[in-house]
Amino acid sequence: MRERVLVATGSQVLVFDRGRGVIEVATGLDGVAPTGLCADPHLLSGAWCCTHRRGVFRSVDAGDTWTRSGLDGERLMVVTGSPARRDRLWAGVEMSAVWRSDDAGRTWHRTADLEALASSHEWAFPPRPDTHHVRWIACHPTDADHLWVAVEAGALVSTSDGGRTWIDRVAGGPYDTHECALHPDAPEMLRVAAGDGYFESRDAGRTWSSPMVGLEVGYLRSVAIDPGDPDTVVVSAATHAHAAYVAGRSNGRVYRRVGEGTWGRVEGWPDPAHTIAPLLTAGRRAGELWAADERGVHCSTDGGSSWQQVADFETEVSHLRGLAVVAAG
């Protein structure tokens, strides 16, 4: 099966078919504002897209077509599928809350109130300090009831009972989590890209460290782990928030770390300079990683040591919302 890379922008989902070498606009998402993407962990050609007020959409044909899957009217920020249980989905919204579906989006119910947590009075999204939202959801690879939820900004919280109760942030952990990555061979090891730096936990989030040696900047956007090596991690970063996301005023870059070593900046990225901090995601084979920035789609086959731009966007894209890799027949 050939690969397809789905990229959500602020106005559409682009589908890059590597076998055909073309980028097309996904159909069935007309007029929606995508806010997140994820691949279906149980269907190679499956994907989910969440939108601003238009609900969740599902594709079973590698992004060719999309159908509605509930939560219309919610201001959705992220959707993810559980690798541990087929048809279980999680969605995060603004104001911060988590929704759960156990039937592939046919029905949804809201989990316990996140805002009942003690730290919630400190949560605020800096551009709009009167609000906050769930930015990221990371699922345990074998325990369907265990997940970690990033509130932007203010906390990384967790549940071990499917959202019936929530565990508040812990001392020393990330405050402004943007993404949290896990590897199926090391499910207790959490890797976090945050606005306040890089964090990792070896005990499922009970304690944290922040190895930053080699990182020249402290605002991290995205994180991915080599599918073939849980000790190889790649992050994207910038000097500050405004330099991470908007094309034309950015200074994004990519760093790589192996084991307990120091971070090293990936040579040749960005080229040219002043690109956004890219979105990152793991591929399906050892060493395979994918990235997207305003220029196009990039691929690494050596665990992030080197990258090749494999597709050019027809026009410059900004405000990237999601990145997912699926398989087409």
Q: What is the mean pLDDT of residues 220-230?
A: 98
Q: If DSSP codes are grouped into helix, strand and coil, which group holds residue 286?
A: coil
Q: What is the pLDDT of residues 15-26, one digit of tens each?
A: 999 888 889 999
Tokens of 105: 């989006």
Higher pLDDT, 51 or 314: 51
Q: What is the pLDDT of residues 143-179, one digit of tens each?
A: 999 999 999 999 999 999 999 999 999 999 999 999 9
What is the spatial distance between Cα 256 and Cα 59, in angstroms, rounded to a whole number? 32
By residue count, the chain amounts to: 329
Tokens of 98: 């988590």
Those residues whose C-beta lies under 8 Å from the C-beta of residue 131, and which sit 6 or more positions away, are 94, 95, 124, 125
The predicted model scores a pTM of: 0.95
What is the spatial distance between Cα 283 and Cα 266, in angstroms, rounded to a whole number? 18
Is residue 318 left, alpha or beta, with left meaning phi > 0 and alpha meaning psi from -120 to 50?
beta
What is the spatial distance between Cα 215 and Cα 255, in angstroms, rounded to a whole number? 7
The answer to whether the CB of 222 falls within 8 A of the CB of 234 is no
Sheet containing 177-183: give its strands across. 177-183, 186-194, 197-201
Does pLDDT of 317 surpass 90? no
Domains delineated in the chain: 2-328 (2.130.10.10)
